[in-house]
Structure formats: structure tokens, C-alpha cells
Structure 1
Amino acid sequence: MIAERIDALRAEMKKRSIDMYIVPTSDFHESEYVGDYFKARKYITGFTGSAGTAVITMTEADLWTDGRYFIQAEKQLKGTPVTLFKMGEEGVPTVQEYVEKNLPEGACLGFDGRVINAADGACYEEIVGKKNGSVYVTEDLVGIIWKERPQLPMNPVFILEEKYAGESAQSKLTRVREKMQEKQAGVHILTSLYDIAWLFNIRGGDIECVPVVLSFAAVTMQEAYWFIHEEVLDDKLKSYCEKNHIVIRPYEEIYQYAAEIPAGETVLLDKNIVNYRICHSLKPEVTVVTDSNPTELMKAIKNETELKNIRNAHIKDGVAVTKFLYWLKTNIGKQKITEISASDYLEARRREQDLFVDLSFETISAYGANAAMMHYCATPESDAELKPEGFLLVDSGGHYLDGSTDITRTIALGKLTEEEKFHFTTVCRSNLNLAAAKFLYGCRGTNLDILSRGPLWNLGLDYKCGTGHGIGYLLNVHEGPNGFRWKIVPERNDSCVLEEGMVTTDEPGVYLEGKYGIRTENELICKKAEKNEYGQFMEFETITYVPIDLDAIIPEEMTGTERKLLNDYHKMVYEKISPYLTTEEKEWLKEYTRAI
């Protein structure tokens, strides 16, 4: 099937004299996760992970993806003509390096100009220029051969009330305009679905588990324009837009709008997000100021209302996950439980909670060796039955009107090896050490990552992903620009200065292919500590309230300080969660949060 699709794509390339065609994992907005309509890379390669780029020539079909997906990609590409390139590995070229090396002199490079951002598009233009070639960017060739392609999503939109958002859309627009004035820009083009949702205080459902709506926006000093399929807006929303001076225009008109911006105007936009076609619609005489969207940092720094709500959301989420752990621990070996049935039980507990909206991402419920794949997703074909031995790794989260959550717990289902316990204890130590960090203002996640990786690096172990990422407020669960990572990865955009009010995950892990995976993940709020002659000190507040499985802990492998950190954490968990549990659940939690 994959071979036939690649052949069909090559036939379309041949018709247009295209020598190489790029198929990214992207929509028109550079979203991390995309709706079914935009899963062209999945269609052409068979790889289902959320990140990757395919490059098709007349003789080669190649796929690039990152360390989260190496094991999964190898399995899914087996038996297809697609070759895997492991991003970041020694000797592996980047997509752009590959294109530059392999594009023939005078050749034509093709891609859909709506799904490649302007910065990447400019790099490809430069490569093509060196080869005296050309670019073909006006058609979506995968769309031409994809006969059963899903429709563009058009789901209902709702207003996020100020009691949840903590700030009005008008106030946010005023702050954006102040930043525009600093840049001397009269127009700001905004295409990030997360930033648009945050700016206008609206949410939707156009990407699974990401409550956004397909749209573009443009802000001037007098008006804000919202390019959207008008049929998804009811009268209440239209009235809301009118009240906030938000002018509604058809979704596709963003390109016409860009083309009509007068010569001499200055436009602020982020070329790493805004698509190639929009930028090429601008007149040559328009000055483009390339910078991060002002909204990016604004939404990452949660206000007091949001922080209060987020803490409350985590209590509810903690109750749901703790009830799940109690059920799993007391029923394993007594009834048939599988990866999917366990995931379903957890989802049901979340849906019982007040103000629940949706899962914040598709739950990862991975037993045994499956958990070595960081983003494993159980299917009816792979759905493993849980046995009273080994580990179950569950990475999950919920969207509530009062915040979004992301938590991972690795659960001992029964007998464990000493190696499993040792690695679990080391991951727990890594998690606790980062959460306990105290640091001077100005530090970035790159400065602190060693606190988490240190215990694992001492064992010659590592994990091929970041240690943590920002969390959106009822938005995308992976939010920049804050994060924890040992080196700067430009495309990740997660190495900013850590500011008070930022929420970041703390999720070290051990992944041994063919054996098991272990991850412990909590969320941290960055806060100010004391200020003295050395400067402003910062610290973290842990806001995830679920026990870490003591059945897998070796206390002797922890320092006295680390044991105290775990005991203090478990004391907090019991105090926060126990009032919402049954008598039996409360007794169980008391045992599983005991001091060691």
C-alpha cells in the first residue's frame, strides 16, 4: 500500500518535472499535532508518530523523526520502501543537508507552500538557488492522490470566560499592540492556533485533544481580524467578536489580506511559524520584522487567576489518577486488565471530575517492553494483557476549564527485578532533584537539566528527549518557550529564561529497548524565592498530587535529603487528595504515601 502511494506521488511529480518532494508533519499553522486532514506524511509513509518529515525522490523515499519515535518508526516502516533517518544521531544529515547534497543541478524541489514555514522555505530557496534549480510550491501533491482524504475540521467554538482566563481579550490585544509599537509594526500576522485561542479567549476542537480552532489572525492598531470558517460561530460568538472589535473574515482570505497590505507598511510575524505562502503573498515593499509572537511569552507566564485554577485542576486530576492506581493495584491478577482497559478506566475517572473538557493528549498505557517506546499507543492488535509482574507506564492528562494536566506514573504490578527497582529509584531521584532546584533569576532550562540527568548520566544512561516542557492553559500540552533540555535544539524553542508563573513538566526516564520503560512526571510552577545581595532567587512548586510507587523504591539508594523530599511530597499528596477518596481508597493512599 505504501509503495503504491509513493509510486502515485512520483507519477504526479513526473507530470510537473519535480525531482524531489518534501512532505512535513504540519498543517497551515505549524501546529505540533495536526488533524486527520493534514496527516499527509502519515499517509505517504505509514509512520503514525506526531513528528517527522518525508522526502521523496524518483528513486528514494526517506523519513526523518526524533528520538521519541526511533523504535516505533523502525517497526512501522519495516516492509515499506521508506528509509529511516534518526534525527540528531551521529552522522545523520538533517533534512536540509540531505536536500542540499542530493538535489541534482538544475532540479526542481517541490512542497506545499502552506505547510512549510517561511524560515524553512527560505532555506530551501537558498539551496535551490545554489543548484540553479527551481521550486514548485503551488500544489498539494499528496492531496491529489489521497482520494479518501478527511474533510477540514469545522467544530464548535466557545468563549473561555474571564474567571478562567484571568484577563480579557481587550487587555491582551492592548498588550500586543504595545509590543507592536516597540517594533514599529502596524500589522501583526498571527497564525499559531494556540496564540490565537489565547489572545481572543476562545477555544475549539479542531485538533484531537487540542482545544483550538482553525483560523488566522491579523492585529492592527485599530482592529483585529479573525480569518475563520464563519459557520462554526454562533450568534453569541459573533456578538462577542463585535464587542471586542474583532472583524470576522473567511479562512482562506488570509492570503488575499496579506497581498493587500500596502507598500511601506511594517509587518511583525514569526517566520518559524507563519507559512511560506503567506510570506510570499506580501508585497516586496512591505518591511517584515521577524520575531517571536508577543503572545508566546505572555501566555507562558500564567496570571494569578490561571495559577489558582491550575492548582485546583491538579487536585481533581490527582484524585482521578489516585483512584485509578488504587483500582489497578488492588485488582491486578484478579481480573483481566489490558493496556486499553486500564486507559479506559483512567479516562472514566477523569470524566467524573468537575469542569472536565477532554483528555489533554492520547493516553500512553504501555506494559513491559512497550514502554520502551516513549510515545507508544496501544491498539487492538498490540493491546497487552497486564500480569502481576513488571511495570505499566501511564502518561496521561486532562483538559479542564480550570487548566490542563500532564502526568506520568510507572506502576509496579507485582514482582520486579533488582535492576527495575534500581532504575525506578534513580528516575525518582532525578525527578526530585530538579523539583528541589533553587537558582538565580536568569537561568534557563539548559542550566538546570543536569540536576535531573545527573543521576542517570552517572550510570551511563540517558533519554532521547527533553526533561520537561511548558504546559498550556486549556491549550496544547507542549507549550514553549520554557522547558528543560541539556542542549539547545532550535526547532524546539524551549530554552528561554524561566519566569515566575511558568508551568513546566519534570519527566526524566529510563528506556531499555525490549525490556521496559520508566518515567516519573510532575508539573512545576516557577516562583520567586528570596532576593538578596546575590540577586533574585527562584524555586519550583510541585503541583502534581499523585503518589510515586513505593513498591519500586529502594530507600538505601537514596540520600537522606532525597528520602526527605519524597516523604514531604507524599505528605502533601495525602493532605491534598485524601479528603476526596472513599475510606478504602484513603487507607490505601495512607500506606502508599508513608514515610520511608
Structure 2
Amino acid sequence: MTVAERVSALRSLLHEKNIHAYIITSTDPHMSEYVPDRWTTRQWLSGFTGSAGTLIITQEKAGLWTDSRYFLQAETQLAGSGIELFKMGTAGTPTQNEWLSGELPINPNVGFDGTCFSVAQTRELKNKLGDLGINIIEEFDLVNEIWESRPKLPNQSIFDHEVSYSGQTRYSKLLQIRKKMKECECNFHFVGSLDDVAWIFNIRGNDIDYNPLALAYAVIGIESATLYLGEDQISNDLIQKLTEDEIYIADYGQIFNDLDKIPGSASVLLDVNRTNLNAFYSISANIVERENPSQLLKSIKNDVETDGMKNAMKKDGVALTQFYYWLEENIGKTKITEFTVMGKLKEFRSLQKNFKGESFGSIVGYKDHGAHPHYSTTPESDVEIKAEGLLLIDSGGQYLDGTTDITRTIPMGELNEEEKTDFTLVLKGMIQLAMAKFPKGTRGCNLDILARQALWNRGKNYGHGTGHGVGCFMNVHEGPQSIRQEIKDQALLPGMITSDEPGFYREGFYGIRHENLILCCQEETTQFGEFLSFETITLCHFETKGIIYELLTPEERQWLNNYHQKVYDILSPELDESHQNWLKEKTKAI
């Protein structure tokens, strides 16, 4: 079926079941960013392949809401579908709930799949549309009724993430969780988010592209815990190890029945942002609503994880040096396209020890494609890269000891003054944030201006956040910390690893983004309090031919020279002579 035919088929079901609007999110029953094929429902129905977006189908209209990262992509992919694009955050664009308020009758029936809608989302929907007397219909997965060849649940092997990589036993992690449960006077803790389950129990899997996770739920009690997963996905050896820590295995599909069996006199700790509505409704016990304790605990990397992340950065740096050497040697001599670059990036990374895959789909945007912050190359959009213009490459790897995420913008030929200016302004912002020194208790929103100031001074800006948390052989995007303009209460703490990635985008021409990962560290304690700083842990050179040196302050230039010396010192022993000589030239002081 075409997109228009799929929308029409769903609309017929709306009329049949007297549902006035149906909402399809981008997530799965675990509120994941990346989802198994079975839950790519919004993509299947709309044709829009971006990782973030919400589709709403009414009996007469259809709309899709997404953020600035995907505006250009969504315009292209929705063309001719009959689905209207709503650009979130832009002037005059209604929110989803504002649009629904204008489209729905009094006492409307609004439907969605209750396993793919969080408790928090449901409450917001009811709150915003309360004046209409909204009726929530959450029991129908309508897309399932029209998706004839819908993929089945993934069934990949689950494996132990050994303490030599995690730095902490699952038993000690459970002690920390139970301490938080005790503080909240809870007998049980329900965990529905996959990264939390993976971190607490030191397990990893391959059920989702890019994130080394397994489909699983968990219920943690005071003395024992139960993991709900595909029972044929886990070995007897790992089951035995888990049993030694009073962790037992149950079938993935049994979770809702077992939640219903929790005694009404008990109290259950859960995170309403990471719990689907059906799981919430299955619990008749008292519910205590808090953020999953593991969110903060896993964001603060221990010494083993920190060392592992740095080792992963070194391996990644070697692979990237080999890749950029290859690119420079071959450009103009053989046909190289965006797809070619994506394949070569993965090839060079795969040569490194304990490489387990990419941490997200590589963003390779040549010239005007780079102006799409989350551009995704397709067979139709793939273009040849030549010795001219700007090439933006945002990529990352998953290794047993860590996760990487790096962006470099490469001048493929001589740049004009405007291109060089923008290139340098973005670099200034990245360096200013990397050099930050700040008192303990500072939040990411307090530091975001450092990355934007050079651009703001020229009347320029970018529409995405500046930094996200990064997991350790885990999700490339994790919380609770972030660096962005929106206010978020979580302070930056020693041990947190966050991206530093300002950008600038000229629609129709080029995009520029520079990204390193930064580790929050103790700096010093003075009479005015405790101060923190960042250590840049990504290891890869910047192309200095894109820089206008005069725009850098002496401190920024010194930072760049010191960084380049560090890159050379750490990576050169891992390289052969030709790559060493090439990297020495790329990292020479300016």
C-alpha cells in the first residue's frame, strides 16, 4: 500500500470504532528512541523515517509534528502523502494538542496504542484537552489491523556485560536501587526502559539497531528481582549467574499479569515518563512516582567505565584517522558518494578490537545535505562527493568498553570567506564550552550560552541542543543531564560524559557541526566552593584549513594546539609510518 492508502485504511477503522483521532508516536512499549522494526509504526504509516515525530490521524485530516532536525527531510518524505507537516517550535505552528482542540468535537474519543504511550504523555493529553471532555481509548493497536506483514518481536541472544567492563556488579547496583526504594518506602520497583534494565542487571543484547539492548522489563523487590524477556534468548549459564543474585527469569509477555498480582497493600516505585500506560493500569498497588534511580546512577561513570570510554575513544580515533587519510588520498581519483563514506567508516571501525557496531546511523551530509542536522542518506538522495564544498560527518561506534559519538566538518576544497567564518564561529563555541570551569550545582542550561555566544554575536544560531549524555556501551543519547537552552534541573556532576556539539546550518548550501565528548571532572575547591571542569576525551583532529585564525582568541588557539598535540601523542603509536606522518601534519600548531 502507498502512504495515502495506509492512512485511508486507518481512517476507515476510526469511523468503524467511532474514534475521532488516533495518535502514533515514534516509540515502543519501553519509550525507546530507537525501536525494533515491529514498532516502526509511525514510519510505516507516514513514510517519514526520522527518529522523532508524532503522527495524528483524524477522520478528516492528518498531521505530523517533528523538530528542526528533520524539517527538510520531512518535507521531502511527506510530499504527496496528504499528511501536513507541522514544524515544532516555529512561529505560528500549533502544538499537537492545540491542533486537536480545533479539530475535535466535544466529548471526543482519542485513541492510541496504550503500550506505546507513557503515563506522562497521557496525562498531558488529558490536561490540555480537558475542556473538550476527552475520552481516552487506549486498548486498540489499530495499525496492527492493517499492517499485514508486520515484523515479529526480535529474538537475539542476551549476553553478560562483564564487571571488567561495567566496573560494578549487578548485586551492588541492586543494593543502590533498593536503598532508593527504602527511602521512598517502596516494596517494589518497576523498570520499563531498556537502558535502565541493561545497566542494573549488567546485560546487553542485539534487539535494537545501534543500542546494545534486549527487550525486557524488570520488577525489583526487596530481596529478589524478576527479569521479563524472551526466555530462549538467554543462556543457562547466564541464568545461573543471575539466580545467584536472586534474579529470576520470566517470559516477556507475562509482565502485565504479574504486575496485576502485586498485593494492593504494597507500594511500587516507577517513572511515569518511562512506563507505558498499560503497565501502569495493570498495577493495583500504591504507586510512588519518581525518576528511575538508575537514570542518575548510570550517568555517573565509575573509574572502570571512564577508562573504558577513553580506550574506546582511542580506538575510534585510530579508525577515523585511517578513514580521513583514505578520503584525502582517494577523493577525485575514484567515485566516492555519501553511501561510500558510510560504508568506509564502518569498515575502519570494524577493524578495532571489541567493535560491536555503530552507535547510530551515520550522518554524511555533503554540501546542502549538511544543512539537515539529522540528514539520512537514501538511494535517491545519495550524491557524489568532490574536491569542493563542505562535508559533514556525524558518526559513532559501539565497543564493549565504551560508546563514541563524533562530528567533523571537512573542507573538501578551498572555502570562501563566509564558509570559513561560519566554520570558525562554530569551533569557537565548541572550544569555549570545552574550556568551561564552573561551580558544583551548575546545570547544562547555565553553560549552553558558551557554545552559542560567538554565533549570537554575529546574529546567528542553531536550533538543536548543544549536548546530550552518552552511555557506556549503551545508548548514545542518555539522561538525565543535557546542555541546552531549555531549563532542566539536573546539575552536571563528576563522571558524567556529555557531547559538545554546536552547529550552524545554511539551508540550501551547507551545514557545519563540530562535536567532541567531554567528561565532567573535579577541578578545585576554593573558599567560594567546589569547582568542576571538562576533559575532552574524543581523539580526532580538526581540519585547520577551514579556520580563520584571527577569529580565535589566544586561549582558544592554545586549547586547539594542546588538543592536537594530545591527539597525536595518543594515536600515533597505534599507526603506521604513513598515517603518523599524515596525522603529524594535520595536528601541527597554528
TM-score class, shorter-chain normalisation, is over 0.9
* Contact 2:342–2:362 (Cα < 8 Å) also in 1: yes
For residues 228-239 of structure 1, the aligned pairs below 5 Å read: 228-239=229-240
The 5 A counterparts of 1:4-15 are: 4-15=5-16
For residues 558-590 of structure 1, what are the alpha-carbon distances to aligned partners after superposition, in whole Å with 9 as ceiling and x for unaligned? 111111111111111111111111211111111
Alignment-mate amino acid for residue 418 of structure 1: E
Matched pairs, number: 589
Residue number in structure 1 paired with 2:501: 507
Deviation (angstroms), 1:133: 4.2
> In the alignment, which residue of structure 1 is the partner of 2:439?
440
The one-letter amino acid paired with 1:277 is N
Deviation at 1:26, TM superposition (A): 0.8
TM-score of the two chains, using structure 2 as the length reference: 0.98
Question: In structure 1, how many angstroms separate the alpha carbons of the residues matched to 2:58 and 2:100?
Answer: 10
Matches within 5 A, 1:343-362: 343-362=342-361
Q: Amino acid of the residue matched to residue 466 of structure 2? A: T
Instruction: After TM superposition, list the pairs within 5 Å mapping 1:231-380 onto structure 2.
Output: 231-283=232-284, 286-380=285-379
- Which stretch shows the higher mean deviation, 571-580 or 162-171? 571-580
> Alpha-carbon deviation of 1:459?
1.4
Q: Distance in 2 between matches of 1:123 and 1:541?
A: 39
Say if 2:31 is the partner of 1:30: yes
**8 Å contact 2:119–2:275 — kept in the other structure?**
yes
1:486 aligns with 2:478: no
Contact 1:399 1:474 in 2 (8 A): yes
> How far apart are 1:392 and its partner, in Å?
1.0
Question: Which residue identity is paired with 2:564?
Answer: H
Cα contact 1:484–1:495 (8 A) shared by 2: no
In 2, the alpha carbon distance for the partners of 1:150 and 1:207 equals: 13
Question: Measured at CA, do residues 127 and 520 of structure 1 come closer, stay the same or move farther in structure 2, by a change above 3 Å?
Answer: closer
Once residues 566 and 454 of structure 1 are traced to their aligned partners in structure 2, the CA distance between those partners, rounded to angstroms, is 18
Distance 1:129 1:458 in 2: 43
Give the match for residue 412 of structure 2. Answer: 413
Conserved 8 A contact 1:342-1:365: yes
- Residue 537 of structure 2 aligns with which residue? 543
1:580 aligns with 2:574: yes
Indicate if the aligned counterparts of 1:128 and 1:135 stay in contact, CA closer than 8 A.
Answer: no
**Residue number in structure 2 paired with 1:85:** 86
Deviation per CA, 1:358-399: give whole Å up to 9, x if none.
111111111110111111111222211111001111111111
Residue type of the alignment partner of 2:16: K
C-alpha distance in 1 between matches for 2:94 and 2:292: 30
Q: Does the 8 Å CA contact 2:70/2:374 hold for their aligned counterparts?
A: yes
Aligned pairs for 1:69-148 within 5 A: 69-126=70-127, 130-148=131-149
- Could you tell me how far apart the structure 2 residues matched to 1:526 and 1:128 are? 42
Secondary structure of 2:217's counterpart equals: strand
Q: C-alpha root-mean-square deviation of aligned residues, in Å?
A: 1.2
Q: What SS does structure 2 have at the residue aligned with 1:114?
A: helix
1:93 CA drift (Å): 2.4
8 A contact 2:517–2:536 mirrored in 1: yes
Measured in 1, the distance between the counterparts of 2:227 and 2:124 equals 29
Residue 524 of structure 2 corresponds to residue 534 of structure 1? no
Q: Report what 1:491 is aligned to.
A: none
The residue that corresponds to 2:184 in the other structure is 183
Report the CA distance between 1:495 and its aligned residue: 5.1
CA deviation after TM superposition for structure 1 residue 101, in Å: 3.7
The yes-or-no answer on 1:566 pairing with 2:560 is yes
Distance 2:334 2:107 in 1: 65
**2 CA distance for matches of 1:255 and 1:189?**
11
2:430 aligned partner, one-letter code: N
What 5-or-longer segments of structure 2 have no aligned partner? none
Q: Would the aligned equivalents of 2:70 and 2:373 in 1 still touch at CA under 8 Å?
A: yes
Tell me the TM-score normalised to structure 1 length. 0.97
CA distance in 2, matches of 1:417, 1:49: 32
Residue identity in the other structure for 2:444:
G
1:222, CA displacement in angstroms?
1.2
Cα distance in 1 for residues equivalent to 2:143 and 2:406: 36
* Secondary structure of residue in 1 paired with 2:116: coil
What is the Cα deviation at residue 98 of structure 1? 2.6
Tell me what 2:157 maps to: 156
Structure 2 CA distance for partners of 1:319 and 1:389, relative to 1, 3 Å: same
Partner of 1:385 in structure 2? 384
Shift of 1:126: 4.4
**What secondary structure sits across from 1:469 in the alignment?**
strand
Change (3 A) 1:540 1:137: same
Looking at structure 2, the residues matched to 562 and 132 of structure 1 have their Cα atoms a distance apart, in angstroms, of 57
Matches of 1:368 and 1:166, distance apart in 2: 43
Conserved 8 A contact 1:481-1:495: no
Deviations 1:149-176 (A, max 9, x none): 1111111111000000000000000100
Structure-2 separation of matches of 1:439 and 1:238: 45
Question: In 2, Cα distance between the equivalents of 1:122 and 1:448?
Answer: 31
- Give the residue type in structure 1 aligned to 2:542: I
CA–CA distance in 2 between the matches of 1:445 and 1:121? 28
Structure 1 residues 421 and 137, CA, compared in 2 at 3 Å: closer, same or farther? same
The answer to whether the aligner puts 1:470 opposite 2:479 as a matched pair is no
Q: What CA distance in whole angstroms lies between the structure 1 residues aligned with 2:175 and 2:553?
A: 51
**Contact residue 97 and residue 129 of structure 2 kept, 8 A:** no
Q: Distance in 2 between matches of 1:454 and 1:515?
A: 23
Structure 1, 247-256 or 499-508: larger mean CA deviation: 247-256
Identity rate of aligned residues, in percent? 45
Partner SS state of residue 242, structure 2:
helix
Letter of the structure 2 residue corresponding to residue 360 of structure 1: S
Q: Is the 8 A contact 2:47 2:78 kept in 1?
A: yes
SS in structure 2 of the partner of residue 308 of structure 1: helix
Show structure 1 runs of 5+ residues with no match. 489-493
In 2: Cα distance, 1:242 partner to 1:324 partner? 45
The one-letter code sitting in structure 2 at the alignment partner of 1:500 is P
**Secondary structure of residue in 1 paired with 2:321:** helix
CA shift, 1:405, in A, is 0.3
Aligned to 1:216: 217
